[in-house]
Amino acid sequence: MLPNYYQFYCPVKILSGQLAVSNIPFEMNLLGCKRAMVVTDKGVVKAGLIDIVKSAFADSDVKIGRIFNEVPQDSSDRIANRIAKMFKTERCDCFIAVGGGSALDSAKGANIVLSADSGNILDFQGADKITSDLHPLIAIPTTAGTGSEVTKVAVIYNETTETKMSFVSDKLYPNLAVIDPRMTLTMPPMITAATGMDALTHAVEAYICLQKNPIDDIFAKTAIDLIRRHLVHATEDGKNMEARMAMANAALYAGIAFSNSMVGMVHALAHALGGVCHVPHGVANAVLLPWCLQYNIPKVPEYIAELSGLLGGAGAYLKPVEQAEETVLLIRNLLKKLNSVSGIPQKLRDAKVEKDQLSEAAQVAINDGALIYNPREVSYEDALGVYQTAF
């Protein structure tokens, strides 16, 4: 059934293929750019991935003006200011962010600083505060999970107030997302599994949440199908180019889906576990996804049931609730397989969570904005109950 009203927007040009990075100089010309600033971290440099980017510029009339390789785990206002200053000094005219969410957020943050007369990033916090056009931004993800190459959000840590600031604006969409499987080949098994489960969570939550729409549904379903067929292979054998390519695409489709539909209680509960117990985002989602789906079955059994076929189920003649239960079981089985090839935790107790931290996490979770889009309301007791089941 079509919703009474919905919106869909994704202005990002996508290049996907085994040599996609090689086309960046050509695309820079199309964008009217001559000198790029590369924003990345030391791990990406060490893995040899910046060499792949550099080699694309070998015989090119456009250049890399500067490589900034000091992006920390969480992008901050101080780093954004530093990058913006270098960008000006080096007379760069576009950004190439290479890495996970933090590299991209740092480039987005620097871009916001450059657009502001005041140079004060704090003026643009919140939704739709950025009005001037930003410098072109090219995103090259080196993990297959966050989907941030196709989202309009930046999260920047404020070092003074020690809080995370969110920036949401259509101006923050990258101009170009470059999906090149060579850039994800070096990801270790545990990160491959965790980021892949993050992508699965994006797709599943986009498909069942209150703001779902028929265009996002297509992206979400395609992502789930790819993840079911390729995530275990990519985790088992990191050099499997076909599996890497499929997972990088799946993460992108899931990113498009959730950036329009939004997510739900899995992300709310995972954010809280990240804050209270420092559980990595993908690991928290992986462990919580089946239990949160189970919680949502009474409200949206049909939507959850519709995913079972994509996950390898054969329950087409089951009742919706039974088929939805099958979906939950199939996701638990996927996590079990991933655990056997990567060691990814299946329970919160194996992810260094202490039982006495659960009540604090539940308190944080019920105030998380992602819960607004969850199909079933979640109280403190409900959140605690799901944590205890997943413990």
Query: Which residues form the interface with Fe ion (CB under 5 A)?
Result: 198
In terms of CB distance, is 198 or 368 closer to Fe ion?
198
CB 102 within 8 A of CB 79: no
Cβ atoms 342, 235 nearer than 8 A: yes
Q: Which is nearer to Fe ion, 146 or 323 (CB)?
A: 146
Q: Which residue number, 76 or 201, has a Cβ lying nearer to Fe ion?
A: 201
User: Between the CA of residue 304 and those of 93, 199, 290, 313, 360, what are the distances in Å?
Assistant: 46, 17, 11, 12, 29
Tokens 């413990």 correspond to: 391
CB-wise, 83 or 103, nearer to Fe ion?
103
What is the Cα 263 distance to its own chain's centre?
Answer: 11
Please identify, using beta-carbon distances, which residue of 174 and 264 lies nearer to Fe ion.
264
Smallest distance, Å, CB 199 to Fe ion? 8
Question: Of all residues in this chain, which one has the CB nearest to Fe ion in the complex?
Answer: 198
Tell me the closest approach of the beta carbon of residue 289 to Fe ion, in angstroms: 11
Minimal distance, residue 223 CB to Fe ion, in Å: 13
Rg (alpha carbons) of the chain, rounded to whole number? 20
Q: How far is the CB of 283 from Fe ion (least distance, A)?
A: 11
Residue number with CB closer to Fe ion (15 or 199)? 199
Q: How far is CA 155 from CA 107, 165, 200, in A?
A: 11, 6, 21
CA separation for the pair 238, 227 (Å, rounded): 15
Classify burial at 214, counting beta carbons within 10 Å of its beta carbon; exposed 0-12, middle 13-18, buried 19 or more.
exposed
* Shortest Cβ 266–Fe ion spacing (Å): 8
